[in-house]
Structures are given as C-alpha cells and as structure tokens.
Structure 1
Amino acid sequence: MESGTDPPRGREASQKRSPLDLIMNQIRKKTTFTERKKPSMGRLFRPSVNSDKNEDISETKETDSSEGKDSTGPGTESSDTDSEISSGVGWGRVKQFVQKLGKTPDSQSLSLAHCDLTATDAVELGTLLPYLAQLEVMDLSWNDLLGGSLKALTCHFQHTGKLKILKLSSCRITAHDLTALGEALDCAPLLEMLDLSWNAGVGGGNLHGLTKHLHSASSLKELHLVDCQLSETDAMALGEALQMLSCLEVLDLSNNKQMMKGLENVATSLNSTPQLKTLKLSMCGLSHDSFAILGEKLKFVPGLENLDLSCNKESSGGFSTLTTGLSFLTCLKCLDMHSCCLTEDDILALTQVVPSWGELTELDLSSNRNVGGVIQSLLPVLPLSKMKKLYLNNCGLSTETCQALATSMQSLTQLESLNLSWNKSVGEILQQFLEPLQPNCELQELRLSSCDLTTEDMLYLESACKLGCLSKLKILDLAYNGSVGDGGWVSLFGEAERLKELQELDISLRPSSSLSASPWLPALLDALPQLPSLRRLALQRWALGPTERETLEKILSKKKVILECD
C-alpha cells in the first residue's frame, strides 16, 4: 500500500506561513544551501593553497568553455585528453555540491530530499547535469524553496536522457514549473516514474500545463499525484492524458476530494491503460455514484492487482454498485477498504465477488466497526492458503467471528501479518488462534493491542514461542492490555530466546494507566541479550525506579535499541 511517496512531514506548516516567513523565504531563495551553512567569518579569509588549487583552475576553464569562452584559438578542437580532464573536473564539482548537502554522490542516483534547496541551488544543479549523463533517479522531494525555479533545472534535461525516476513531492511547484517540466519531457524519453505529490500548485486547473505535453510514445509507468488539490478541470486534463499513457501501471490520486467531481473523465480513460496494476483513490470523497461510475469502468483494467478505496466514508452502503466491475479483476492481490464505514450489506456484497479473486493475498477491512458480526461469512470464500496480510483491527469482531477466524488459522499457512487490535472479544480465546500455528510458520507481524488479553493468554503465547511457532516474528504489539498480570509478562520474557528475529515489542499501557514494572523487569533484563534483532521497545506508562531505568537504558544503548518510556 505503499505509493513510493515520503510521509507529509510538516506539510500543513509549509502551506500556512506568516508574512515574516514569506519575506525570509525570498532572502533564502537568493542564498545557496552551502552558503547558509558557512560561518559568516569564513568569507573574510582566502582558502589556503593546497592540492585542490589546480582543480579550481580547471573548473574555471570548464565553466568558461561551456559558455563559449574556450581558451583555445578559433578552429582548434579539444583533444580526447582534454575531454577526460573536463569530465573528471565536472564530476568533482558534482561531488562537492552533493557532499556539502550531507549526501553521498552517485552517478546514477541523485537523492537530495529534505536538503533545504533554494532557487540558487536549482541553478547550480542545472549546470551540473551535463556531468550526470548516466543519471537514472533524481529525488528533490521536500524542498519547498524550489517552487517557481524548476525551469532553471529542466532546461538542462537534454543531458539526462537516461532519467527513469523523478520525484518532486512537496516542492511548492507552481503553474510555471509544471509548464517547464512538461516542455522537458521530450528530453526524458525513458521516464517511468513521476511523483508530484503534496504540491497544491499542481491542482487548481494547472495540471494541463504538464499533461498537454504528453504523447503516445510516453514510457511513463507510475504517476503519483497525492494531495495535489486536483479540481474537476484537472480531472478532465488527466483523463485526456491517460489516453496517451498506455504503459501506465501505477496511478495514485489519493486525497483529492475535489477531483471526484470529474471522476467520470478519469474512469472513462481507463480503457487506454490496459496495463494498470495499481489504482489508489484513498480519501477521495467517493460516493455511491462514484462507485457506480468506477464499477462500470474497472472491466477495462482486468490486470489490476492493487485497489485502494480506503477512507471514503461517503461510500457507506454503496459497495454493491461496485461489484460488477470488481468481478472482472481476476488478478487482484490487494484490496484496501479501511475506514469506509462499511455496512453489513457491503460485506455481503463483497462476499459475492471474492470467489473471483483467486490471487488475493492482502485484505484490509480495519476500522469498519459495524461489520464484526458478518465478517465470518467472508472467510469461507477467501483464498486462505494464499493470504499474506489480514487486517481486521477495530472491526467490532463478535465472539462467533473470532472463533470462525481462529478455525481458519490452520488454512492461513502463508499468513505474514495479522492485526486484530481493538477487538475485545479476542481476549480469553487467544489460545484458539495460536494452537493451529505450525513450527516455523510465516507469521512476521502480530498485533493484539487493546484486546483485553489475560495472564492465561500470555501463557498460551509463551507456549507458541516454545514450540517455535513464532520464530519468524518481527513485530509483536501487546499494548493496552493492562489486564495481563505480572506472571504473564514474566512467562513471555522467559521464552525470548525463541524470538531471534523480533525487531519491535510494544507492551505499553493506556495513557490513563500506571503500573510498576518491578515484578517482571528482571525477566525482561535477562531476555534482552537473547533478542539480537530488537530495535524498538515501548514501555510507556510503566513505572521504573531510577536504578531500574539506568540499568535498562545501559543494556539498550549497547544494542542500539530505541526505548519509548515515560
């Protein structure tokens, strides 16, 4: 469910700035990143003469040459040796630029995300592109001062003909930037992935500045436009563009609610993208009518493998209008419908089409609290032997559903991730889930947060560890289960040596709770050396004495484990 986009770090803050911030940004745009990092007194002194002196001279000559001020006389051609020297010096400039940003230079991959780049940096980077002819990946995401200066970079794209991946998420892209990028697309004929997510300037009717430059020879396979405030006009432009993108495999339009007014324009063009494998429409305000439109067009993408319709609460009760199209998706592997306010009728409608999905490996129905009593009707039609991820957290699972699911565990032989958190009925019957597990089973993630687990449940979990049924477990979430007695924790930690691959362990208490960790802490301290892969330990709201905390932190610091503790 991954989109290939970084999380929206500080996005809201970047969208709303004070007048002082705007003034300071204008000043910063005229200053390079490296100049802002230099001590001000450093400018008063000349650098000492060293082995880099010759390189500086060569760089100056290289720059003059590129501007038509070659030192050789008219009609004189540079030798191969001169070309090699120039190339070496150019790469030296690239290394210097990248290293001053705290990054590692790579001739094929340029990753400068979160580098606080400015318009001046964009100009300098553009002059370096001639020395990056082998570049395939360029990531400039999360540099919001680049907005409005993209043309200074794209005008040099003729030197990066091998570029395949371009990421510009959260760069405050403007309409002029989109036009400049569109005009440069012909210089990147091999471009396969374009990520413009988290740029409000992409929407508002501006998308046409980019899409009008697309043509049928495009190699684009992935287009990410998450939270770009796309409008109905943008949806029309996107619909026209899709007719040119016959190679498209991934389309992510999540968090664009206004665009759904033009959903029909997008959906109608799906017949031009027969190779589409991933379609993400999370948090797009899909309604019953949207589902009906989408249901009619899904038959044009029979190879679809990943469908994300999550966080569309307006679609509650309208799933049946989508089922006609879903029945054509015989290759579907992942369906995400968490937080959709699904009803019992929606689940019954889903039950009718699931038999068509023989390749389904991942199903997310979490945070749909009204379906806990009917999910058991879904279990018999799922391809249980192929399921790898099953998320049913916060679904209000009934006791009968939990028992039916526990019975199905013996068929879930490939299951890697199971999330049953926030289902109180799991408590006291955890044994039924654990007993069908076989030694060395594939389970890597088990989340049982806030499940009203008991001390007895912990004893069964201990037994599963002892039998080797959880030997591949990497994530174990047992938070918010304050009803577990001290003896339960002691017994679990006593079998820690069986959890060699465990990376994350969470046994935190609820925010309103507070208990002493002293009774079971010695067992945990003895267990930690036997957990070589542990990287995160959460013990929030457990009270530790000064000596206990010091001892715990000393052990964890040696293992480089992150401790989350009040």
Structure 2
Amino acid sequence: MSQTKKKNSSGEETKPQTSFANKFFKGSKLRSSKAESRSESKDLETVIVNPAMGQRRHHPRPCIKPLSSEMEGESRAEKNEQFLQKLGKKAVNKCLNLNNCGLRTADMKEVVALLPSLPDLEELDISWNDFVGGTLHSITQQMHLVSKLKILRLSSCRLTTDDIGALGEALKAIPELEELNLSWNSKVGGNLPLILQALQEGSKLQTLELVDCALTSEDGAFMGQLLPMLQSLEVLDLSINRNISGSLNRIAQGLKNTSNLKVLKLHSCGLSQDSVKILDAAFRYLCDLRRLDLSCNKELGGGFEGSPAQLATLRHLQVLDLHQCSLTAGDVVSLTQVIPLLSNLQELDLSANKKMGISSENLLSRLRFLPALKSLLINNCALENETLTALAEASVHLPGLEIFDLSWNKCIGGNLKLLVETLQLSASLQVLGLSSCSLVTEDVTLLASIIQTGHLAKLQKLDLSYNDSVCGTGWTVFCQNLQFLKELTELDISLRPSNFQNCGQWFGHLLHAMTKLPEITEIGMKRWVLTASQEEELERFNQDHKRRIHIDHGGFQ
C-alpha cells in the first residue's frame, strides 16, 4: 500500500498553503528591502573626529544585523523547502510525515536541520525508510527541540541496537508522547527495556505498537511490569511476536491495570488453549475494550471450550477477530453462548476455521441478536446446507451489513436463492465475496436479476472469481445488468489457476457496462483469453475512454 496524495476528508480540493520556508523564515522580497535599508543606514553612520588623537571613529546604528547571519538563515530555509519538494512532501506547523520516502544518510542530515524550525511539532513519521537505521542518533540528539512531540512513528526503519539505546534516552525529552510505533524492527526484541525505560507512572502514552519486533519472553515479562504505569494506554499491539506467549501470565496481570484499554491485538502470537483462559481472567478488567484480535493463533483451538465467561463482559466490544484459530466444535458451542451477548459488535471475523462446519448452525442463527453488525467474514469455514440456511434466516435481521464474505464455501453453489432476501434487504452492502463457491449459471443470473431491480446499489467490490462452472449465458446476463451498480470500483471474475478459457460474447457487454460505471477502476479477468477481435474492441475502448481502468486478463490468442 504505497503512499499517495489525497484530497481532504470532505472530498474537496484543499486550498494552497503557505510554503514551509515562507511560514518559518523571511522571504526573498524581505531580503531585497532589508538590503536597501542597510545601504541607507550605512550612509547615516555618525563620524566623530577627535582632533587630539587625529582619529576617526565610526559608530554604526545598533539595530543593524550582520548580513552573513541573515543570509545563512534564509539559505537554510530555501534548502529546507527544496528538500521537502524533492520528496513531494510539505511540513506544517505540527506534522512532518516522511513515511516511505526512501530517505538516505544525507537526507537524514536534512531532517535534523528541519527540527529547529518546528518547535511546535507534534507528529513525526519516518517509517518505512531502511536507511534510517544506524543514523537515528542524529535525530534523537535534537529531540529536546521538539519537546511537544505527541506522535513518533519509526516502523520498519532497520533500527540498530545503538539506535534503540539512543531512542530510550531521547524519550526522556518528550514527556507529552501519546503514540509510539516501532513495528517491524527486529532489534527491538531483547532490548525493549532500553527503549521504554523512560516511561514512568503518569505517562501520557495512549498507543504502543510493537508488531513483529522479535520480542522475547523477557520482553513480555517487562511489558507486564510496565503496563500498570501506562494508565492512559488505549491501544496495545503485540502481534507477530510468537515468543511472548511464554510470559502471557505476566502480560495478563499487567492488563488488569489498564482499564482504559480499547484495542488489544495479539495476532499470530503463538497463543495456545491455556492462553485463552489466562486472557479471559483479565477481560473483566477491560470494560472499555472495543477491538480484540486473537487471529492466526492456530494452536488456540479448543481454548474456548468450557465457556470463557469473562469474554461476555466485554459489552462495548465492536470488533472480534478469530480468523484462522482452528476453532473446534466445542469452541463454537461456547461462542454460541457468548457472541450474541456482545450487542455492540460491528465486525466479526470467523473465517478460515474449517472445523466449524455443521457445528456453527446455532451460532450463525443467533447472529440476529447483533443488530449493529456491519462486517461478517465467514469465508472458508466448510459451511454445509443446514448452516447456510441458518445464516440466511439470521442475516435478514442485519440491515446495516456492509461487508459480507462467504467465499470458499462450496455449499453456496446452486443455493444462492437462500440469500435472496438478505441481498435485497442489505441496502448498505459495499463488499460481497462469493469467490470459489461453486456457483452455477442459475446463481449468477439470479444475482443479475437482484442487481437489475435496483438492489445492491451501494456495492463497491464484487468477487465472483474461481466459479468456473458458470457458462457463457450466465456471464452474458450478468454483464448486461452490471451497469446498474453505479458505485462499483472492483470486479473479479477470474478463473482458477489451472483453467484457461476464451471469452465469449459477454466481453462486449462487459465493455459496454464499463462505460456506464463511473467509479470502476479494476477488472480481474485472469486466465480469460481474448480473441483477436476482442483485442481490437479493447483497444478501441481504451482510445475512446481516457479512464484508468486496469483489466487483468489472460492474454490474447
């Protein structure tokens, strides 16, 4: 996900801003006028002749500043602005974002030179710049100049051990720090106390992100000791640190003292069945928790058996992510008792838990008690006909659904009619995933009729890939009605990797539909092969419509 320039949140063009140099330094017009003033002032110097000494003494006016000092300041301003323009960035009074700018050692010197000009700086982001590693000390030595700093992001900077030591000292100079992101820096592992030693009781830190930092079990134990001092902490992300599972007891004890915590992410941390019980003991102290991510912990399966009672106390929980956790039938039985009680839940991800199968019928039927649900991901869960029926009946009661992914559940093939009422009532649906669902021609034509009648009008992304059993007639009917999805931005109808087919007559209908879709930017057609005449059609389309639509197809015959 590369960095791009964006419009403001209202979608309107932002007004031209005063340049960085003009904002903090005097401009070139002032230079010319002041030079003239100096010339006039020199003519007005008082000349005193002392007859007794035979000497002349010149007394310059005291308000005149040395020319070299003035010019040095102005030259520095110009260099600062040129440096930022080269990176395609702008500095504002409180934010300097140099994320993913390919900074090199020489550039780091320029960054250091910027800091004295930004005494009110509150946000500094130099993440995803590999050459920051080994040079961070040049910045940390200047941290006292930006003591109002609240946000510091240094993710994926290849920090060295020396950098980490220097950072630990520098944090003492920025007592207002509220967010610290050191993710994807492997040298943080084993050295966490060196960095966070400056955080004492009363710290204002609200967000701490340490994703994939190779944290050790000792780092986890230190974190457990530190957490009670971080009373303002709201976001803690320790994801992709598998070794901290050995000190989870200490971390859980610390979590009991972070009553303001709103986000806890332990994705891919090597959690086991026992880990669920350890965390469950801490949940009742986290009354304000909004997001809980325990995903991609494959050894966690079976941990929810026996009813994790305290999970039900997270009444403010809005996001629960349990995808790829090897959930067992026993886990599903317990979660059936808990999840319906989380009435504020907005996002639920149970995907890639293939053992759910038939045991999820009761759980899916009770989703009707989650009226705020906006995102439901149950792709690749080996659903069966009974569970699909239960899901269809419950999903009718989810009018606010925006994301619905059922991909890789083969039972949907030939049974999409069970979801007709849901698709007709889901006026807010923006993303629909039906990839590799063994859809047949009747399913696709049914979907086309739903679209034709004005339903799914808000749909932005539609994934129908890997449904190779749909015949040309089905794709023709679908493409003829595609034009009614006015907000669609992405469509995927790719074939399976092992299957290549020639495009039928429906390709012409697809091109016609694209002329009616103002937002479309991406068409996935992998392994669909164009004939010579279709290639000509595509070339004419590209010439007539100067829009950036990426069509990823299987090539030409």
Superposition TM-score, scaled by structure 1 size: 0.83
Consecutive aligned runs of 4 or more in structure 1 exceeding 6 Å deviation: 76-79, 81-88
Partner of residue 254, structure 1: 239
Deviation at 1:440, TM superposition (A): 7.0
Partners in 2 of 1:218 and 1:164 — Cα distance? 12
Asked if 1:289 corresponds to 2:277, the answer is no
Count, aligned residues: 500
Please, which of 314, 317, 320 is the counterpart of residue 305 of structure 2? 320
1:398 aligns to what?
384
* Aligned match of 2:552: 564
Match of 1:63 in 2: none
1:531/1:78 CA distance change after superposition, 3 Å? farther
- The answer as to 2:225 corresponding to 1:240 is yes
Residue type of the alignment partner of 2:292: L
Deviations 1:320-346 (A, max 9, x none): 367133122111111111111111101
Instruction: Provide the residue aligned with 1:346 in structure 2.
Output: 331
Corresponding residue SS for 1:315: coil
Contact 1:227–1:254 under 8 Å retained in 2: yes
Q: In 2 relative to 1, CA 83–452 (structure 1 residues): closer, same or farther, beyond 3 Å?
A: farther
5 Å-filtered alignment, 1:26-425, equals 90-203=76-189, 205-320=190-305, 323-382=308-367, 383-425=369-411
CA distance in 1, matches of 2:215, 2:142: 28
Distance 1:86 1:549 in 2: 61
Residues of 2 paired with 1:141 and 1:399: CA distance?
48
Q: CA offset at residue 87 of structure 1?
A: 7.0
Assess if the C-alpha contact under 8 Å between 1:150 and 1:180 holds in 2. yes
SS of corresponding position for 1:314: coil
CA deviation profile, 1:411-455 (whole Å, cap 9, x unmatched): 110000000000010111112212344467010000000001111
Where does structure 1 lack aligned partners over 5 or more consecutive residues?
1-5, 8-50, 59-72
2:499 is paired with a residue whose SS is coil
Secondary structure, in 3 states, of the residue corresponding to 2:229? coil
TM-score, normalised by the number of residues in structure 2: 0.84
**Is this contact kept in 2: 1:226–1:254, CA < 8 A?**
yes
SS at match of 2:131: coil
* Match 2:474 to one of 466, 482, 488: 488
Is 1:440–1:472's contact at 8 Å kept on the other side of the alignment?
no
Residue number in structure 2 paired with 1:479: 465
Partner-residue secondary structure (3-state), 1:264: helix
Q: Answer whether contact 2:365 2:393 (CA < 8 A) is retained.
A: no
Structure 1 residue 187 displacement after superposition: 3.0
- Which of 447, 452, 457 pairs up with 2:443? 457
Contact 1:127 1:156 in 2 (8 A): no
CA contact (8 A) 1:509 1:541 kept: yes
Rounded Cα–Cα distance in structure 1 between residues aligned with 2:349 and 2:228? 31
| Greater Cα shift, 533-542 or 230-239 | 230-239
Q: Structure 1: which amino acid aligns with 2:349?
A: D
> 2:357 is paired with a residue of what secondary structure?
coil
Counterpart contact for 2:130–2:158, Cα < 8 Å: yes
* Corresponding residue number in structure 2 for 1:426: 412
Shift of 1:127: 2.1
Question: Taking every aligned residue pair, what percent have the same amino acid on both sides?
Answer: 43
Structure with bigger gyration radius: 2
Cα distance in structure 1, aligned partners of 2:152 and 2:232: 17
Shift of 1:82: 11
Taking a change above 3 Å as real, the CA distance of residues 439 and 343 of structure 1, as seen in their structure-2 partners, is closer
Amino acid at match of 1:95: E
3-state SS of 1:267 partner? helix
Letter in 1 for 2:337: Q
Residue 182 of structure 2 aligns to which amino acid in structure 1? L
Which amino acid in 2 is paired with 1:223? L
* Conservation of the 8 A alpha-carbon contact between 2:207 and 2:236: yes
Distance 2:119 2:307 in 1: 47
Does 325-334 or 93-102 show the bigger shift? 93-102
- In the alignment, which of 522, 525, 532 is matched to residue 508 of structure 2? 522
| Contact 1:246/1:272, CA 8 A, preserved across alignment | yes
Q: CA deviation at 1:121?
A: 2.6
Q: Which amino acid is the alignment partner of residue 558 of structure 1?
A: K
Query: CA distance change for structure 1 residues 77 and 281 in 2, over 3 Å: closer, same or farther?
Result: farther
Q: Point out where structure 2 has 5 or more consecutive residues left out of the alignment.
A: 3-27, 36-58
Contact 1:119–1:149 at 8 Å: present in 2 too? yes
SS at match of 2:348: strand
Q: Where does residue 532 of structure 2 map in the other structure?
A: 546
Give me the whole-angstrom Cα distance separating, in 2, the residues matched to 1:78 and 1:355.
76
RMSD of aligned alpha carbons: 2.8
Q: One-letter code of the match for 2:255? A: L
In the alignment, is the contact (CA less than 8 A) between 2:417 and 2:446 conserved in 1?
A: yes
Q: Which residue of 2 aligns with 1:508?
A: 494
Is the Cα contact below 8 Å between 1:207 and 1:234 reproduced in 2?
A: yes
Are the aligned partners of 1:366 and 1:393 in contact in 2 as well (CA < 8 Å)? yes
Work out the CA distance in 1 between the residues paired with 2:533 and 2:546.
17
Deviation of the 1:136 alpha carbon: 2.7
Tell me, in whole angstroms, the C-alpha distance in 2 between the residues paired with 1:254 and 1:427. Answer: 36
Residues 209, 238 of structure 2: 8 Å contact kept: yes
Cα distance, 1:537 vs structure 2: 0.5
Q: Sort the Cα spacing of 1:135 and 1:78 in 2 relative to 1 into closer, same or farther, 3 A.
A: farther
Amino acid at match of 2:550: I
- CA pair 128-522 structure 1, distance change in 2 beyond 3 A: same
- Equivalence for 2:55: none
Q: Report the counterpart of residue 11 of structure 1 in structure 2.
A: none
